[in-house]
Structure 1
């Protein structure tokens, strides 16, 4: 919800965003313990109970309740997958170069997630750090929320034409529905959710806070998304949620930032030819 990354590190940050995706589920699963034993045998090949328990924990982390029905369904899926895997080996598909590459990619992804989980387990963020982050975020967010609407187009000339039409009395909502490139707001006449200025990219937020209630930008505002015509509909005091309510989200944010630094450090030390 805060300003987008800029500068020469943009490409690296995209990679880092991909790498750190999934921290929330990893936090939920990082303390799991594997159960011993065998879940089932398929043609003499044992499927470990630990495999089922891992699938159960993954589903629970996604919000599904643990229970007999879910476990039965997962057990049947694992058995079916084992049967199909055995058939693939019979056909020697495990020797296919493309399959070998896909298996290596899957193995690497599992190792990356294991490294992330290990990092989470051994890097506990203190309450003091979390509270400092919370106070910093409150300052960044400010004390006001803005309800705005906008029309996003691909060129300055299009935006200027829309501004001219609005000055002649055209309906903002209808123009947004017809012309805006923002699929998330165009169906609502260009309306955006109540948000602090920091929720938007800088050129947008800077233009927004200069407007008075009911005011509209006289010139198009350019961002990395295109050209915006912005109208400020209303302003209200910012209601900041209490620390305990957002503590987990802040922990996730801090861990992501710290882990991204670790990845950057490892990348700088790696010998890449």
Structure 2
């Protein structure tokens, strides 16, 4: 149940009673960890919760098992009290439980589907090759600085100051409307032209290393003064580095195709 899960996540070792920490969780009779008001909590339920917590990075330990056991007991007590009040028959509660049930079944279905339809290494390699080709098409990466202002007149005034020897990074820090890069002296770090709006990219790619645009560059954001710091060949991550992301991307495509196919076959009125 939701409440039980929240209680588990909220628990920390410091919050456990000393007696609970000292004792080791052991199955009661018939494979149950506890029997609460005549209702058994099976060992399997504890193991299922531990599996969820392990996926979140928590290590199995006696303390964790006691925490989970205590949480399951508390959750069952609350569930019993809620049932006494008839809350388990509430239309709102039943609707929420149905939504939660559908969510659990959806995840189980997806996991089962991917077990029987794993993404093949050949598919991952083919997708990686397409990515690598696209990266090669982009060619170079550019490291540029810019100063962004709203008015053309101000941009021209700043250009005049640069021609007189003013420091680009100092002017950017003081005047640029792009506060993110202004904090770094206008530095935009390494990026490909495709990541910039076209007027900016067109002007930047015409510059030689160390050059500054001679006129303000107008874009939808305002007026830019651009300085090209350097260029380099765009680095391409290795297949091993990209494999998890590509596999996830291909799984998502598989799932979208499956959902589309199920909708096409279904009678939805």
Fold match (TM-score > 0.5) = yes
Deviation of 1:113 (Å): 0.7
**Where do residues 131-210 of structure 1 align in structure 2 (5 Å cutoff)?**
131-142=125-136, 143-147=139-143, 161=150, 165-169=154-158, 171-174=171-174, 194-196=190-192, 200=195, 204=197, 207-208=200-201
**Where do residues 1-273 of structure 1 align in structure 2 (5 Å cutoff)?**
37-142=31-136, 143-147=139-143, 161=150, 165-169=154-158, 171-174=171-174, 194-196=190-192, 200=195, 204=197, 207-208=200-201, 211=204, 212=207, 218-221=217-220, 227=221, 234-273=230-269
Deviation of 1:59 (Å): 2.2
- CA contact 2:155–2:223 (8 Å) conserved in 1: no
- CA contact 2:36–2:76 (8 Å) conserved in 1: yes
- Could you tell me how far apart the structure 2 residues matched to 1:172 and 1:209 are? 21
Deviation of 1:252 (Å): 1.3
1:174/1:62 CA distance change after superposition, 3 Å: farther
Per-residue CA deviation, residues 104-151 of structure 1 (Å, 9 max, x unaligned), is 110111111111111111111111111111111122233544446789
Normalising to structure 1: TM-score of the pair?
Answer: 0.64
1:94/1:174 CA distance change after superposition, 3 Å: farther
* Bigger RCO (CA 8 Å, 6+ sep): 1
Q: How many residues align?
A: 219
Gapped regions of structure 2 (runs ≥ 5)? 1-29, 159-169
Deviation of 1:193 (Å): 6.0
- CA contact 2:150–2:222 (8 Å) conserved in 1: no
- CA contact 2:199–2:217 (8 Å) conserved in 1: no
- CA contact 2:199–2:218 (8 Å) conserved in 1: no
Deviation of 1:161 (Å): 1.7
- Could you tell me how far apart the structure 2 residues matched to 1:69 and 1:205 are? 58
